[in-house]
Chains A and B, each alone.
Chain A
Amino acid sequence: MNGYGSSTHAGGSGTSIGMYGQGLGNTGLTTETGSDQGVAPHKDQLADRRVMFMGLPRSGKTSIIKVVLDNEQAYDTLGLLSTTQRTEHRMMPGITVYDFPGIDDYAESQYIVLNPDIYEGEHTSLVFVVDSQSDIQSAITALFSVMRTAQSVNPHIPINVFINKIDGLSEELKQDIQHDIQQRVLKNMSFENLNCDHMHFLLTTIYSESIKEAFSKVIQYLVPQHSSLEAIINSFCSKSSLDKVLLIDFSTKIYLATDSSPTYSPRYTFACKTIDVIDEISALCGSYVPVDEDDLPLQRINVALDGYEDIFIYQISPSLTLFCFGPPQIISQTSLLEFNGSKVAKAIRKLLPI
């Protein structure tokens, strides 16, 4: 995957246990870590902008990351082994995704709770994955222990609860499950005086685009200069009379920013499918020309539909594209769109480290 790398955080859990030993000096685990480490534990270095995936074991954290970031097929993740060490995955605009081991192993769960440092920082977001098909109560218990720690150091940390594995459930049942979990969590939060302004509940499954949409919503908090990006896209939208513009990462299909009109899931799903087809076709027709520093776009695509809107895709860097929905008469005025697109592309290239 262009630009993405995943690497196992070397000695991650070793260091963490070391810190844990320091915290609970007399539990007896110090000896274990002491022999393991033998050096003074140092502060865990986590990336500045980060998303942390937590949850019970087998709730689908690693699968989600594999499907979204590494473009793996959902069926291929069935055989994944459980994660024993924290792994990190780098994402495009300087965001790092951390995959934590499932919270059941005694030491690790303590690590997550007893290391409040990891929740610090303005650009930190927490994703808690709940398996909708198994024991919800114990997931919520784990969520609360994480939440208490997180909010004690960072009261404004966004906490996204992914209600995962909803494939195959009826629309009604999905809503029921979401409602149930949401009620239980929010009620208990108010009992414990926790701040629930930054809670988000999202229904996900790796077998549909819902996971990418949920991921996008998490990522948008962390994208540098997000408000400026949104302002740029808003003005692009109104100046070119487009209905909807998404700034999409081509390889993962996550959208980093969009205009401020609401994003409907079917539309986003449709955008993903369009990109899939375009990707397939353009892969056949020749490779990318290396980028040089000028304003020319790499790829411009018109998709005409016989409905009420057409699609215009404007690639602004090897990985980012502007995905525009607009009325057919607008899309056919390609020269206007291209001129505006080039201006927007220039601005976005300045804002984002590409």
Chain B
Amino acid sequence: MGRSGAGKTSMRSLIFANYSASDTRRLGATIDVEHSTVQFMGDLGLNIWDCGGQHKYLDNYLNEQKESIFGNVEVLIFVFDLETTNKDREYTLYDECLLNLAQYSRDAKVYCLVHKMDKILDSDQKAAMVETYKKALNKRSDMFQPGVYGTSIWDHTLYQAWSQIVYALVPNMATIKRHLSNFCRLTDAAEVVLFERATFLVVCCTSGDEDEPQLEKYMTISQGIKHYRNTCTEQTSPFRSVHIRTRAYSLFVEPFTKSTYILVITADPEIEPAVTKANIDAARSHFAKLAD
């Protein structure tokens, strides 16, 4: 949801349809509602409703079709356009959406993406802008605690926000996470990250030591690999795995279960790469039960 031209379809194409950021320029306006179903993490089917942002459609959603649009919603993603000329209208629309959401699907989660953050160059200003949006939105949405993220299709922030959304969506995430950190401990790995196979979104990550996992690093890796995978496909030799060994660390990106890729980084040079690889292979069947 969001006003016209906010970047909803661009966002969807980038994440789920392997578009590159510059490809989205050729997208036209979305007419009415575009439904798409994405298989995510095996059996989890995401029904994405990309709602056109033009006035006449919005009126429709909020009046005649409100039951079908707002019924059975799991997640509402509201896209704010940073460059909008009329902020109040955007907020009014948001309020109306939430009102309907409260009526038809009370348990839905709400995410607000402040989009086109690349228009602001300074990082302090960026943070300040997200903060203002956060305050304003928290005031407006009492019963839904929205997650507010600043995003841009030109860097990894969009992936970061979507990873958070996905994280909340996958039902047995806590179990997966527990098993993953177990695996991390057993293989003596420094960091283990699970990616979704089709979108390369970060699903889950753990690290051996108690440090905060470096989400940004994984985002950059995931985006790099996603991009590279497209290049490989152009060369008619689809990408399978990467394995980097240096004296300081060893890094694996391997296909894991049917729906995931795994990234394992070991920092101890004493660990033979073959051992790590064997461990990954051994863990595969176990995780197949959990994640597929």
Contact = CB atoms under 8 A, between A and B. Distances in A.
Task: Decide whether A and B are members of one complex.
Answer: yes
Interface of A: 266, 270, 273-274, 277-278, 280-282, 284-286, 288-289, 296, 298-309
Contacts of A298: 246-247
A301 B251 CA distance: 9
Contacts of A288: 246
Chain B interface SS verdict (over half): mixed
B228 A277 contact: yes
A300 B239 contact: no
Given A306-B240, A307-B237, A308-B237, A285 B231 contact: no
B251 A285 contact: yes
B243 interface: yes
B128 interface: no
A270 B233 CA distance: 11
Contact of A299 (B217, B224, B246): B246
Given A303-B241, A304-B242, A305-B240, 18 more contacts: A270-B231, A270-B235, A273-B228, A277-B227, A281-B221, A285-B217, A285-B265, A288-B246, A289-B247, A289-B248, A299-B244, A299-B245, A300-B244, A302-B243, A303-B243, A304-B243, A306-B238, A308-B237
B195 to A, nearest CB: 13
Interface in B249-269: 249, 251, 265
Chain A interface SS verdict (over half): mixed
Contacts of B224: 277, 280-281
Given A270-B231, A281-B251, A284-B220, A301 B240 contact: no
Given A273-B228, A284-B221, A286-B249, A278 B244 contact: yes
B236 interface: yes
B225 interface: yes
Of the four ranges (under 10, 10 to 19, 20 to 34, 35 or more), the interface on chain B belongs to 20 to 34
A274 B248 CA distance: 21
Nearest to B223: A280
B238 A307 contact: yes
21 contacts: A270-B232, A277-B228, A281-B224, A281-B242, A281-B251, A284-B217, A285-B217, A285-B249, A285-B251, A286-B246, A289-B247, A289-B248, A299-B245, A300-B244, A301-B243, A303-B239, A304-B240, A304-B242, A304-B243, A306-B238, A307-B236
Contacts of B244: 278, 281-282, 285, 299-301
Interface in B16-41: none
A264 to B, nearest CB: 11
What are the nearest 10 A-B pairs in CB distance? A307-B237, A305-B237, A304-B240, A306-B238, A277-B228, A302-B243, A304-B241, A299-B246, A300-B245, A280-B224
Contact of A302 (B236, B242, B247, B248): B242
